[in-house]
Amino acid sequence: MSRIKRIFKQNTHNSFFKALAGFGRSLNRLYENRNHDIYSNGEITVLKKIARMNPNIIVDAGANVGDYSLLANQIMPACKIYAFEPVEDTFQHLLSNIKDLKNVVPIKKGLFKENCELAINLFASNEHSSIYDIEGLPIGSEQQQKIELVRGDDFIRDNHIASIDFLKLDVEGAEYDALLGFENAIKNGAIKAIQFEYGYINISTKKLLIDYYTFFEANGYIVGKVFPKLVEFRNYHFKYEDFIGPNFIAVKKTEIELIKILSKG
């Protein structure tokens, strides 16, 4: 048997096994839900399930032109949604898209670990604007723009918000920084559930999935990955450090009913 294994391993880089390995990688990415379409990657499913809990406040961090906020408003028309978008042109598109919605509140700021101004890298597509230098993109940043950033804890205090039902973070690599800005609220259990992106950009930001698990577990949250029909809550393992993404959710462990709803397919 050992001889057969040795022969097999010695011939793994021929054309047949290269094609087979490529197919295997593609199949794994499909299985692990490498998909940024909110209508098929599970994000809309998460919103519909959260709607069962009759949420009052949702924060859409990285709102872009407002597609996610519009979808959340359609599913939960009575819920107040704070839509954060710091880039000027993108923010103007956001304003235009939500102009008829009174319960979607646009905020021309980004969320960060401190109150400050930073330069953000702009791309041809407004979906990739980031304060980080993203490596590996086929097209580089075209220009920069100064943006205003605010700590989540300060925003909560200044707007007299007692709790947040759902915080969605899609801020192109600054998700962990934004979490640190909400550190007090998270420690106090004032945020019930947090969705965050994890993927190839984390190679550039040097924030691994284990950093998120460590942070959330220390604050009494359980972490799961978003799949098309359910959230799979699971313990951290090295094999999940694959940068495939796209979305994970952390839920306060005391939110037993929400965890149960999200877990069901």
The domain 37-263 is classified under which CATH number: 3.90.230.10, 3.90.1530.10, 3.40.50.150, 3.50.50.60? 3.40.50.150
Q: Torsion-angle region of residue 164: left (phi > 0), alpha (psi -120 to 50) or beta? A: beta
List CB contacts of 7: < 8 A, sequence separation 6 or more. none
The domain segmentation of the chain, as residue ranges, is 1-31, 37-263
How high is the pLDDT of residue 195? 98
Q: Cβ–Cβ contacts within 10 Å for residue 130, how many?
A: 20
How high is the pLDDT of residue 247? 97
How high is the pLDDT of residue 127? 67
Using CA atoms, how far apart are residues 77 and 105, in angstroms rounded to an integer?
13
What is the pLDDT tens value at each position of the chain, 265 positions in all? 677 777 667 777 788 778 877 888 888 888 888 888 999 999 999 999 999 999 999 999 999 999 999 999 999 999 999 999 999 999 999 999 999 999 999 999 999 999 999 999 887 766 678 888 877 666 667 789 999 999 999 999 999 999 999 999 999 889 999 999 999 999 999 999 999 999 989 998 999 999 999 999 999 999 999 999 999 999 999 999 999 989 999 999 999 999 999 999 8
Using CA atoms, how far apart are residues 71 and 105, in angstroms rounded to an integer?
14
Using CA atoms, how far apart are residues 20 and 96, in angstroms rounded to an integer?
48
